A and B are shown apart, each in its own frame.
Chain A
């Protein structure tokens, strides 16, 4: 079964450092998403990406965050200058967007980011 793959599975970084989290969505999918889950809290939407541009972003997704699909397969989330509160599990998801209605997001296993 096709899957969304994420790397790294765990990254530890110092506060103020740049971090790039990588995702390879399912190949025929058209919508891409990043979510995050701070330990013990709910899964929160960060950003959606369609047709090579951001289609929606939450208030969490400030200027420190950016997304990119540099080569048609990878989908990256960059945090420019990490803060302690960026420590979380980051999930990538993709969606085929079959317009008949079977719109189900497929999630990756997540990248755990620890900011010290």
Chain B
């Protein structure tokens, strides 16, 4: 079984400031890691994923996350946020063997609010 902990339920920042959204996971097996974003009144959209290879993964809109196996973390960062980044961000994990039907286990989410 897996679990995901997102340490911050809300993160308010000013526009153009850097941000880090923290995510830690626990699992008895090897995992895939994901960040999903939910804009107001919309569904869940994949932001980025770690499947294998380079531990640093990037999204097309400037976010990056680094898989740290020793610390069981997958923190999400952006060096300069925009108002449009205001959304809820969910960290998720799945068993990479397919043994759990690829289902995702989500964290509780972090609401990022970017203020002008």
Which residues of A does B touch, CB under 8 Å? 6, 31, 33, 35, 41-45, 48, 50, 55-56, 91, 95, 97, 99, 101-110
Interface size class of B (residues with CB under 8 A): 20 to 34
Q: Are B103 and A56 in contact (CB under 8 A)?
A: yes
Q: Which of B19-27, B57-65, B72-80, B92-100 contacts A (4 or more CB under 8 A)?
A: B92-100
B115 lies within 8 A of chain A by Cβ: no
Contacts of B45 in A (CB 8 A): 107
B71 → A minimal CB distance (Å): 22
Q: Are A109 and B43 in contact (CB under 8 A)?
A: yes
CA distance A42 to B45 in the complex (A): 15
Q: Are A108 and B43 in contact (CB under 8 A)?
A: yes
Across chains A and B, the number of contacting residue pairs, with CB separation under 8 Å, is 60
Contacts of B49 in A (CB 8 A): 104
Partner of B42, one of A31, A56, A99, A109: A109
Select from chain B the residue with minimum beta-carbon distance to A48: B101
Q: With A41-B108, A42-B109, A102-B51 as known contacts, state yes or no: A110 contacts B102, CB within 8 Å.
A: no
Partner of B43, one of A102, A104, A107: A107
CA distance A33 to B103 in the complex (A): 8
Q: With A42-B109, A43-B44, A91-B44 as known contacts, state yes or no: A105 contacts B104, CB within 8 Å.
A: yes
4 A-B pairs with least C-beta separation = A109-B43, A107-B44, A43-B106, A42-B108
B52 lies within 8 A of chain A by Cβ: yes
CA distance A44 to B108 in the complex (A): 9
Select from chain B the residue with minimum beta-carbon distance to A101: B51
Q: Are B103 and A48 in contact (CB under 8 A)?
A: yes
Contacts of A48 in B (CB 8 A): 101-103
Contacts of B106 in A (CB 8 A): 35, 42-44
CA distance A108 to B36 in the complex (A): 13
Partner of A95, one of B90, B100, B102, B109: B102
CA distance A45 to B95 in the complex (A): 14
